[in-house]
Chains A and B, each alone.
Chain A
Amino acid sequence: MTMIDALLSSVEQLFSLATLVSMMIGVMAGVVAAAIPGFTITMAIVLTLPVTFTMPPLQGVATMLAVYVGGGSGGLISAALLGIPGTPSAVATTFDAYPMARKGEPGRALALGIWASFFGALISAVVLIVAAPPLAMIAVKLGPWEYFSLILFAVTVVASLVGKSILKGLMMSLLGLFVATVGQDPMMGVPRFTFGVDVLAAGIPFLVVLIGIFAVSQLASEVENPTALQRGESLVSGKLHFRPLAVMREVLSRPGNLLRSSMLGVVIGAVPGAGGSIANLIAYDQAKRASKTPERFGTGIADGVVASESGNSATAGGGLIPMIALGIPGSAVDAVLMAALMVQGVSVGPRLIMDSADLVYGMFLAMFLAAGMVLAFCLISMRWFLRITEIPKSIIVPVVLVCCAVGALALNNRITDLYLLIGVGLVGYLLAKLDYPLAPLVLGVILGPIAETNLRRALMADEDWTLFFTRPISAGLLILAVLSVVFTVRRLLQQRKIART
């Protein structure tokens, strides 16, 4: 299939009525979900996944991308109007958007964030289109040695970026890799660790693990505190006035900030494990350093809102780069997207861009389309945003739990999957309470079979295991893996020292 054919085919699939409608619903769901404190973007995407099973691959992925991009903007709403980040990606947005809203300009704060998100998503989509194909060309040439080392690197980076203890992070990654070995072995088809249980014969269902870890256990933590259950007093009163075009000019008059924050978002999004929750803080920090008036940051200035919101939205495109080019998800959300493609029978890896060019181009286009839809939806519905943040948790939590049950049942319609979901949710909740980060577990589960297959292929091609250390790219990746652990240990030790004194 030539490039033009693929592009035309993807346009045809994407601009069908069904896809446009499902994307629009996805955008709305993403914005609304991220606006509700306690409902994360990952949760929204995980729960969208079962709905997409019956759709053709591109429509399914485009719908999930729409939720993702919508979620990137939604967190801003509660950040600006309540001073509470709707998602972890909007923490830095509260620094300036909330003071701005309290000073009587809630409309301007929202519009600034919406436009900054839009341009951030746009810039990241451009970088994705430019960077992913050449990276995939290189990745196809990598041997199993390089691939195994790359996964090792990804695992250590994830473990070192999230959580308080690298030991616990690494232990969770390994646990994920182990969970993935349950079921049939990828080369010989021998059943492993199934203990004669039918449900385990095909492996532990990944979707159920995802929903259990990212939704059920998270929801349980949401209802822990009885006094915090009542939310809903809006801290910003009064009407929202906004002039979208004037604010757009205001955002575009800060090209340096916008570009820097977006590029930071792209790069951070592309690193496995780091995502919007880190990008918004770093983008804000860098904008403050580069500013001529750093002392005004935190008082409600436009630069702060633009930096945080363009930074967190740009991670969406960034995270797709390693997923499309290498078949290695950049974040938990990308792992879910990858799982969606795998359920559809699409094999994800560096050959994806060659074998399913129409799908990949469709994903690129869907990113642009979703960014535009989010912009339109947010600008039209901004007046009702205050209402969304007023929904109490006593309604959200049980409704989303029922959605989790639907999600677990949708794949195989087995009631045992529901029991497994509860088990995983409970274990996930206790693990989170013991300070174990959950994202490395999920990435471990999805990377496990790829790691094992490549390790065994490498040793089949040549029994000499020193090749992992003597092939230059593989050696380089292993060195990076070791460095990421060493630096994290050093950082944690320093933090502990400071905490003691």
Chain B
Amino acid sequence: MKSKSTKKMIGRIFLLLMISALVLSACGGNENNNNDVVAQNTNDANNENMNTNDAADEEPAMPEDVTITWLMVSNWPVADSGFLEEFYKEYPHITVEMEATTINQMYEAIQVRVGGGASDPDVFLVNAPLTTGYGTRGLLLPLDDVFTDEEMANYYPAAVEIGSFGGEFLSAPIHTSTQNLYYNADMFAAAGITPPAQDERWTWEQITEAAQKLTIDEDGDGIPEVWGFNFEQIELFYQLQPLPLSLDCCQSISDDGLTVDGIINSESWVEAFSWYGSLFNELGVAPKGAISTAELFRSGNMAMMLAGPWQVNALAAGSADFGFDYGISLHPYFEDGEVVTPTSGWHLGVNANTEKEEAAKAFVHWFTTETGGKAWFSHVRSALSAQQSVNEWIGTAEIYSEAPWNFIQVAIGELDSNPIIRPPVVGYLEYTTLIETAFADIRNGADAQEALDLIALRIESELAKYAP
């Protein structure tokens, strides 16, 4: 009896497995069909550079729904902004699921998941200089067949250069960027200091002097109520690279991308970062610990900040509530040095293992060409576009001609002020994430020479694996 029931049980399990296999294979078939339909839809939308589907031409079929995942950073206000709804107007069958995380966690997710061969996320943000590293690891799908020559020519050349590796275009640029000095005009007036004009460029020495005068500790508890100055992205390499390069332009790593000793711990770097550390320690004009510079500025607790053009949007959105006037001017530089500004920004890449290639490419194409570029600035207004035509549109659009929106013109003008890209080397991820820990240490009181010497050793230890 027992053996009979066991046989029955085995039979049932086998039947169940067969049914599951059939259902799964049916699903697999659907997915393939999905991709074909998406390919057709993309063809219709772009009319070039895409494969055609003859069968679908003969009998137009309704595209089947497909959902792609987009790994992105959590501080982008995309949800409910209306941006994706613009995309859905053109691609109603594609749903974009956002997977938002912090920047560093996103780097890890790309390394672990995409590097491990996972098919999702289908699309992910690429910090422009990481294109080389991702390209070396084969994590990105080439996008050369996605864009027309005209669309490629519309990007700033530096954006195309940094998005390419090994002769292939691997990451399409969303942004380019720069940094400007934002100041609280009322605080300047109260301190009797004349702020810099919109087309004026202060030196870091002038900033230091003004910051000391603008820092106010009313109750004398050692914690100022108003801080004089801070960087918006306090410890990020993107924002801080111009400091040492202003003193000695323009090397941040050796030409072969393998050594940093003697460069990042050279005299000019130590001098620049000793000054940086003094802001938080000896001078006490900038706060230590986990804080948000932009929030302190908006709440009237920060007199000056060096920040990106996206802050124009954030400030304009709440300007009525601030209760103070503010202004913008050019990126500072060291008195004995030269003008150097940061540039480049986020790109979009398609996971080399995606199973929804056509839909992913359609999203990347739409996002990083003119319609998407304008929609992005209209709805999200995060940084400046990497497309020249979109920035020209911003420069001439009437809605952006009034203050404070016209501040964006100052930022667009700054794009030509000796912009320096971050080094597009294969070990950029190691380089940037490690050097930022040294910046954090210096900010928290570590000696600049000691911190930079140690991190040079650390970085070279990581880069050694790329040695031929």
Bound together? no
Residues on B close to A: CB < 8 A? none
Residues on A close to B: CB < 8 A? none
